[in-house]
Amino acid sequence: MRAFLILLFVVYSTTTYAQPKRLLLLGDSLSAAYNMQEQQGWVYLVQQWLDTEQVPLTIINASISGETSAGGLARLPALLEQHQPHYVLIELGGNDGLRGFAIPQLEHNLSQLIALSQDAGAQALLMQIRIPPNLGPRYTRQFEALYPTLAERYQLPLWPFFMEQIALDDDLMLPDGIHPNREAQPLIKQQMKLWFARLVGE
Give catalytic residue positions.
29, 176, 179
Question: Are residues 193 and 50 in contact, defined by beta-carbon separation less than 8 angstroms?
Answer: yes
One-letter identity of residue 137: P
Q: Say how far apart CA 125 and CA 89 lie, in whole Å.
A: 5
DSSP structure string for 159-194 = EPPTTTTGGG-GGGB-TTSSSB-GGGHHHHHHHHHH
Residue 98 dihedral angles phi and psi, to the nearest 5°:
-65, -25
Q: Which of 69, 57, 73, 46 is nearest to 20 (CA)?
A: 57
Q: Which of 19, 79, 35, 51 is nearest to 189 (CA)?
A: 51
